[in-house]
């Protein structure tokens, strides 16, 4: 049986992180319901334990947390002691800013654009799968079936290629936007924040013995947590960019296959069932092949019968015109002629 774990409430986890009461780089210990078992999780893994947070929306969640830190640090910038510390460190890094410039690297419609891009890819992929299935069906078309002049797949392919090209264009635009975002995030002033993550509260007093109550006691942990959130957010953006490049490669491959399929769509062997000349020619040719031997035998029998009839007719004429003296001679001649007829018939058979 799987253990049920008592994960930290999301709002509590984020508040403790923003206030510096919890360090992101340190493991988060969670216990099972009975309290008998415990396990350590890193910050990102703990986020993925919530039912409504997963790899598909992790980038959006990290962006929200990132912007919460931007708001938090922007408020800290209003403190004169913190402003002085930031200016001093920026000078050390050859930067002239008195404040930390922490802007939102994403456009307001960034995630809407990402979702549209993904839907376009899925729609094109579904259409591609349908075309491939249809192409397999075309292979089973009987050779004597009657096809349309434009072929069954031609119009489907034209629409699929157009859809594929448009989807590919959207995904490429998204990838180019991501490249710019990644570069802007890398250009952020992380060197100053890294230094601030080492500065404890008492270092902000600016030689003033009185304690500034408006400065958080764990201010160094706030900047440290921001730095880690910045890194997690940047890493997730890069992962998303690499996934987008994979989609582009896959879509380019599918578009190419559809184009090749369209070029070969009319290479389908078929006979038009209305073309009587073709079928008559084939049918008569088959009949001639199987009837040739039978015709030869009939011709031989007919020729033999003709020879016998001819001899009989000759015998009858001799019997009427001449006397009995010629009867025996006629019989002999008839037998000779009959033998000659059989000989001729055998020769004819040998010839065929």
Q: Read off the pLDDT of residues 38-67 as tens digits, 9 standing for 90 and up.
A: 999 999 999 999 999 999 999 999 999 999
Q: Report the candidate in 237, 151, 223 with the shortest Cα–Cα distance to residue 193.
A: 223
Q: Residue 24 has what pLDDT?
A: 94
Q: Residue 157 has what pLDDT?
A: 85
Long-range contacts of residues 28-31, Cβ cutoff 8 Å, at least 24 apart: 30/5, 30/6, 31/5, 31/6
The proportion of the chain whose per-residue pLDDT surpasses 90, expressed as a percent, equals: 47
Residues 84 and 109 in one domain: yes
Q: Is residue 270 domain-resident?
A: no
Residues 258 and 282 in one domain: no
Mean pLDDT of 312-321: 47
Q: Is residue 272 domain-resident?
A: no
Residue 269 binned pLDDT confidence (cut-offs 50, 70, 90): very low
Q: Which structural domain range is residue 340 located in?
A: 277-351
- Cβ–Cβ < 8 Å for 337, 314: yes
Q: Report the candidate in 2, 65, 10 with the shortest Cα–Cα distance to residue 39.
A: 2
Q: Is residue 34 domain-resident?
A: yes
Task: Quote the number of domains for the chain.
Answer: 3
Q: What is the DSSP string of 196-258?
A: HTT--GGGGSTT-SS--TTS-TTHHHHHHHHHHHHHHHHHHHHHHHHHHHHHHHHHHHHHHHH
C-alpha triplet 167, 256, 115: angle, nearest 5°? 20
pLDDT at residue 315 greater than cutoff 80: no
Q: Is residue 23 domain-resident?
A: yes
Q: Residue 52 has what pLDDT?
A: 94
Residues 245 and 235 in one domain: yes
- Cβ–Cβ < 8 Å for 151, 269: no
Q: What does the alpha-carbon distance between residue 160 and residue 262 come to, in Å, rounded to a whole number?
A: 10
Mean pLDDT of 206-234: 87
Write down which residue in 263, 287, 315 finishes a domain. 263
Q: What is the DSSP string of 318-336?
A: HHHHS-THHHHHHHHHHHH
Quick one: tokens of 50? Answer: 């919530």
Given the structure tokens 């001819």, which residue do they identify? 310
Q: Is residue 268 domain-resident?
A: no
Q: Is residue 346 domain-resident?
A: yes
Residues 47 and 59 in one domain: no
Residue 27 binned pLDDT confidence (cut-offs 50, 70, 90): very high
Write down which residue in 263, 286, 313 finishes a domain. 263
Residues 255 and 307 in one domain: no
Residues 244 and 140 in one domain: yes
pLDDT at residue 22 greater than cutoff 50: yes
Q: What does the alpha-carbon distance between residue 10 and residue 140 come to, in Å, rounded to a whole number?
A: 57
Higher pLDDT, 105 or 323: 105
Residues 138 and 259 in one domain: yes
Give CA 91 to chain center in angstroms. 52
Query: Mean pLDDT of all residues in the chain?
Result: 79
Residues 104 and 45 in one domain: no
Residues 190 and 288 in one domain: no
Q: Residue 241 has what pLDDT?
A: 97
Residues 292 and 259 in one domain: no
Q: Residue 349 has what pLDDT?
A: 46
Phi, psi of 104 (to 5 degrees): -75, 120
- Cβ–Cβ < 8 Å for 38, 31: yes
Which region among 134-138, 188-192, 248-252 has the lowest average model confidence (pLDDT)? Answer: 134-138
Q: Residue 344 has what pLDDT?
A: 47
Mean pLDDT of 98-110: 86
| Sheet with strand 5-6: strands edge to edge | 5-6, 28-32, 38-41
Could you read off the pLDDT of 328-347 as tens digits, one per residue?
Answer: 455 455 455 545 555 545 54
Burial bucket for residue 23 (CB in 10 Å: 0-12, 13-18, 19+): middle
Given the structure tokens 């190419």, which residue do they identify? 256
The proportion of the chain whose per-residue pLDDT surpasses 70, expressed as a percent, equals: 68
Residues 247 and 297 in one domain: no
Residues 106 and 195 in one domain: yes
pLDDT at residue 170 greater than cutoff 60: yes
């Amino acid at each position: 049986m799987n253990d049920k774990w008592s994960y930290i409430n999301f709002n509590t986890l984020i508040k403790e992180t923003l206030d510096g009461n919890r360090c992101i780089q340190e493991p988060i210990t969670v216990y099972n319901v009975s309290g008998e078992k415990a396990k350590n999780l890193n910050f990102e893994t703990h986020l993925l334990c919530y039912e409504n947070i997963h790899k598909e929306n992790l980038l959006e969640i990290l962006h929200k947390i990132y912007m919460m830190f931007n708001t938090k640090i922007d408020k800290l910038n209003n403190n004169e002691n913190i402003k002085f510390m930031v200016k001093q460190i920026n000078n050390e890094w050859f930067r002239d800013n008195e404040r930390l410039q922490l802007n939102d690297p994403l456009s307001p419609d960034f995630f809407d654009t990402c979702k549209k891009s993904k839907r376009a890819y899925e729609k094109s992929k579904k259409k591609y799968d349908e075309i491939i299935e249809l192409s397999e069906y075309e292979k089973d078309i009987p050779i004597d079936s009657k096809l349309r002049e434009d072929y069954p797949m031609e119009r489907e392919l034209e629409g699929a290629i157009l859809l594929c090209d448009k989807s590919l264009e959207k995904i490429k635009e998204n990838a180019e936007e991501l490249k710019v975002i990644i570069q802007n995030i890398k250009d952020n002033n992380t060197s100053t924040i890294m230094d601030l993550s080492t500065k404890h509260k008492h270092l902000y007093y600016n030689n003033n013995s009185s304690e500034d109550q408006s400065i958080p006691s764990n201010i160094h942990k706030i900047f440290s947590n921001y730095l880690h959130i910045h890194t997690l957010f940047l890493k997730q953006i890069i992962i998303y960019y690499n996934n987008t490049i994979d989609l582009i490669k896959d879509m380019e491959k599918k578009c190419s296959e559809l184009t090749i399929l369209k070029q070969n769509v009319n290479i389908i062997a078929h006979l038009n069932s209305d073309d009587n000349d073709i079928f008559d020619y084939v049918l008569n040719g088959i009949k001639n092949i199987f009837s040739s031997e039978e015709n030869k035998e009939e011709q031989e029998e007919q020729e033999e019968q003709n020879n016998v009839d001819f001899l009989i007719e000759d015998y009858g004429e001799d019997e009427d015109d001449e006397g009995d003296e010629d009867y025996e001679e006629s019989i002999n001649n008839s037998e000779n002629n009959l033998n000659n007829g059989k000989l001729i018939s055998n020769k004819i058979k040998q010839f065929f």
